[in-house]
Amino acid sequence: MLHILEYTEYVKKTRTRKIDKDEFLDILKKHCKNWSPKNDQLWRGNSRIDYDFGHFSAIEKRKKGISFQKWFDELEKDPINYPVIRNKSLIGLCGGTENGMKRATSMLGANVGGNVYNIIPYDNSPMVISPVVDLELLTKLDVPFAKAYNNLPNGLFTKVEYTKNFKVPIPEIRKKYERGKKRMRANTMFSESLEHGFEFFISSPCLLIHEDQMDWLVDIRK
């Protein structure tokens, strides 16, 4: 999917396991009551798996290759404001148009041509949302990351929980985007459109369902 999703090494134990439709429905009913077709949806691309249903568990991965590793290590010392462990997190897009996010997740980074999945977090899971579509792009703007976003009120990320009637707090996120953009010398790479959405991080368990199965899911949850 996005550059930041990719580590330089594979690990032997995958964090996402294949499940069948019955297990998906069982977990959905027990742990994902907050999901609804009317919620703002979360999307992720994945070129490493090719099945209809999956379950993500926050198994720690090697840190080598993580963008802004030291910066994220410092963030994790503040679990109240940043309740997500970076090297255990699942990353995707939210807050954009469905087509825009699907296109971005399947075309950017090493996930070109990969499958696109809808992400369904467990109820009330904490998440953090970045004000840009891909943090990795900041390194391509020739602007030091810390300088671009240092001293922003309430930090870079917006903290949310996956509650009933979940909506991405776009106005709050956009304020941070606008403040950070003023510190960048080359901000043209950041689209003014909300089409592609914002990058989210979550280290709680989640269900994954292939985009081709979404009509079936919507039908049973109407």
Strands of the 206-210 sheet, one edge to the other: 16-18, 53-56, 206-210, 115-121, 42-46, 90-94, 198-202, 126-129, 158-161
What pLDDT score was predicted for residue 148? 52
What is the average pLDDT value for the chain, to the nearest integer? 77
Place of tokens 């369904």: 120
Q: What's the distance, Cα to Cα, between the start and end of the chain in Å?
A: 30
pLDDT at 147: 53
Task: Check pLDDT > 60 for residue 11.
Answer: no
pTM of the model: 0.82
pLDDT in tens, 37-84: 999 999 998 877 889 999 999 776 555 555 666 767 777 777 777 778
User: Which residue has 């994945």 as its token pair?
Assistant: 46
